[in-house]
């Protein structure tokens, strides 16, 4: 698989003394001003002075990504107009390429190409991962680029069994990521998971009914 060069970002990294906090990718001066006004700046300043946000894929993040069958990709054009697109596939279709990079195969769709056009002029992007069943969410800031004509990369990232027609690969380099609290996340369960539980219960009820009928027959012959 292609080894990706790091995309340089002035907000990337916390190692050097005096460097900007990684969270500045989201906490702009305007955001910090609002945090100050609303009383939360001190808490986030302590976060910035401590470990801060993550910049690499940890084992925990990789495991979380592997269980996702959908996510939201946000892009923006140079005029600042944002756009959010839902991406779906089998669990794990969003792949970890390396410690700083995620990737997925872009299938043929409605041919509007809004995300594609936005990335052509502005590579800043955002991925929002939701786990409704366990009320968890992860936010990832970074830069994305489109790779076309790389059959080996498509084959490496294409989930098995998917019948959609692949058109390209989108690679997302992580600048920072953070975990949100579960507050206000509605708990939703995947329909396929519910169907599996219901089927298991149906079989159990059927077995119990058969057992009950057998016991009744045996009791009637005594």
* pTM beyond cutoff 0.85: no
**Residues paired with 61 in a beta bridge:** none
Residue 106: its H or E element: strand 101-107
State how far Cα 142 lies from the chain centre.
13
At 67 the pLDDT is: 96
Q: Is position 67 within any domain?
A: yes
> The domain containing residue 220 runs over which residues?
189-222
At 216 the pLDDT is: 87
Tell whether 165 and 202 lie within a shared domain.
no
Q: Is position 25 within any domain?
A: no
Q: Is position 124 within any domain?
A: yes
Please give the mean pLDDT across all residues of the chain. 90
Averaged pLDDT, groups of 10, the chain, 222 residues long: 35 50 96 98 95 95 96 97 96 96 94 96 98 95 97 95 93 96 90 90 93 87 66
How many distinct structural domains can be found in the chain?
Answer: 2
Tell whether 85 and 115 lie within a shared domain.
yes
Tell whether 216 and 108 lie within a shared domain.
no
At 26 the pLDDT is: 96
Tell whether 155 and 63 lie within a shared domain.
yes
Residue 167: its H or E element: strand 166-180
Asked whether the CA dihedral 198, 164, 4, 116 is positive or negative, the reply is: negative
Q: Is position 18 within any domain?
A: no
Distances (CA, A) of 169 to 61, 99, 106, 200: 21, 18, 5, 39
Distances (CA, A) of 93 to 16, 142, 158: 35, 19, 7
């Amino acid at each position: 698989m292609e080894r990706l060069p790091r995309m340089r970002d002035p907000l990337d990294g916390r190692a050097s003394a005096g460097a900007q906090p990684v969270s500045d990718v989201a906490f702009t001066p305007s955001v910090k001003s609002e945090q100050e006004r609303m009383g939360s700046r001190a808490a986030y300043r302590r976060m910035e002075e401590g470990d801060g946000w993550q910049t690499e894929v940890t084992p925990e993040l990789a495991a979380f990504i592997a269980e996702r069958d959908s996510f939201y990709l946000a892009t923006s054009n140079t005029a600042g107009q944002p756009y959010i697109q839902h991406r779906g596939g089998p669990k794990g279709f969003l792949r970890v390429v390396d410690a700083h990079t995620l990737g997925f195969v872009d299938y043929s769709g409605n041919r509007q190409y809004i995300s594609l056009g936005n990335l052509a002029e502005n590579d800043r992007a955002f991925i929002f991962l939701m786990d409704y069943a366990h009320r968890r969410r992860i936010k990832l800031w970074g830069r994305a680029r489109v790779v076309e004509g790389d059959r080996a990369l498509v084959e490496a990232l294409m989930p098995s069994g998917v019948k959609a027609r692949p058109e390209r690969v989108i690679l997302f380099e992580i600048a920072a990521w953070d975990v949100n609290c579960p507050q206000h996340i509605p708990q939703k369960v995947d329909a396929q998971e519910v169907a599996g539980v219901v089927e298991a219960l149906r079989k159990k009820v059927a077995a119990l009914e058969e057992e009950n009928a057998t016991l009744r027959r045996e009791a009637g012959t005594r």
